[in-house]
Amino acid sequence: MQLPDPSSTRHPGPAPYLRIATEEAFAPPEMLEIYRRILSGANVDPGFRGLMGFYMSSPSERAQHIMRCLTDMDALRLKHMDDCGVDMQVLALTSPGVQVMDKATAVSFARIANDYLADAIRRHPTRFAGMIAVAPQDPQAAAKEIERGVSQLGMNAVVINSHTQGEYLSDTKFWDIFAAAEAHDAPIYLHPNSLPPGMYEPFMEAGLDGAIYGFGVETGLHALRIITAGVFDRFPKLRLILGHMGEALPFWAYRLDYMHRATVKSQRYDSVKPLRRQPSDYLRENVYITNSGVAWEPAIKFSQDFLGADRVLYAMDYPYQHAVDEVIALDGMTMSPEHKKRFFQTNAETVFKIPPR
Ligand code: 1DF
Ligand code: MN
């Protein structure tokens, strides 16, 4: 990993735009205590143990750095932002958030985490914005927390860390969450989670279960399940945000459309029903993507071409990815000044309703 090198003279210079990073993680120390309790119990989810069990116990430099950064909401975080030229972080409770907890703990801790985040935003209102954490385990409580987050805490997006104990939001039992998000005009950032038990083994044995590949496969699958279940036909104004270059779905668009059409026509699966539009239409009209973890100009340009320049947003994925060189590379993209400003600043201001400073 490229840790910021204090002796480096490289520093992103001033830019004709603010740099707003939109998939930045934090963890209240109290959540780590709950995680410790879960990890010491019986029947621990293998994906959760492989992910947070690792970061919370490994002596490696990467793990120690990440744990230090996740739990800091003040000087250290602001210093790292300054080092990287990041003006603002849009913060989300780190994966898996409350989704690994039992229902009652998840509902109550989502509120605690949101209050904790709102306090940090109050301390640093020009540096932080945030997303509302919810417990999908209790869809009605999640809907209420979205309402509270928007109307009382001033947060305008929701974070859900992909599957909840192996269950997907394509199941209609979760759709009160979509109804609340749509009613409050709050996009849902569908962020990766560790792989559920049914997917874990073949990825883990090759060391590919994490952010390197498994996360993207599972979160992309989740987004596709939401599309093919007809969620956007039922909630046409609902918006999803996907990180990691849309978890590669823009690259899949042609094949998704062709094979979805063929599958519907052949009546091969009861679960693949006709939709009002093609899968790629929902990607272009209901989805925003961020470049979290992918500081790569060709992928960003392809996505702008496919989705439109108003749907591709900057993200760093701090502290899991923390590299000043990436900001310098992105500053240097060959791209019109208008599109670059949308990418780094104005799309985030619009999507997260960040007030002008
Ligand atoms: C990792 C990556 C962990 C991402 C994350 O949350 C995360 C990682 C626990 O590298 O283990 O959010 N990510 O979004 O790429
Ligand atoms: Mn992330």
Cα-to-centroid distance, 25 and ligand 2 (Å): 7
- For a pocket test of ligand 1, which of 52, 98, 320, 321 has the largest count of ligand atoms closer than 8 A to its C-beta? 320
pLDDT digits (tens, 9 = 90+) for 59-115: 999 999 999 999 999 999 999 999 999 999 999 999 999 999 999 999 999 999 999
Taking the CB of residue 335, how many other CB atoms lie within 10 A of it?
17
SS3 category, 316: coil
* Euclidean distance between CA atoms 312 and 35, whole angstroms: 33
Query: Is residue 159 scored above 50 in pLDDT?
Result: yes
Helix (H) or strand (E) holding 91: strand 88-93
Cα-to-centroid distance, 211 and ligand 1 (Å): 6
Q: Which pLDDT does position 1 carry in this prediction?
A: 46
Residue (of 193, 136, 139, 133) closest to 161 by Cα position: 193
Q: Tell me the backbone φ, ψ of residue 216, rounded to 5 degrees.
A: -65, -40
Cα-to-centroid distance, 94 and ligand 1 (Å): 8
Contact 99, 135 (CB under 8 A): yes
Q: Which residues contact 9 (CB under 8 A, 6 or more apart)?
A: none
Q: CATH topology for 20-351? A: TIM Barrel (3.20.20)
Q: Tell me the backbone φ, ψ of residue 25, rounded to 5 degrees.
A: -105, 150
Helix (H) or strand (E) holding 33: helix 29-39
What type of residue is 242?
Answer: L
Residues at CB less than 6 angstroms from ligand 1: 25, 51, 94-95, 192, 210-211, 215, 243, 292-293, 317, 320
Helix (H) or strand (E) holding 109: helix 103-123
For the full predicted model, state whether its pTM sits above 0.85.
Answer: yes
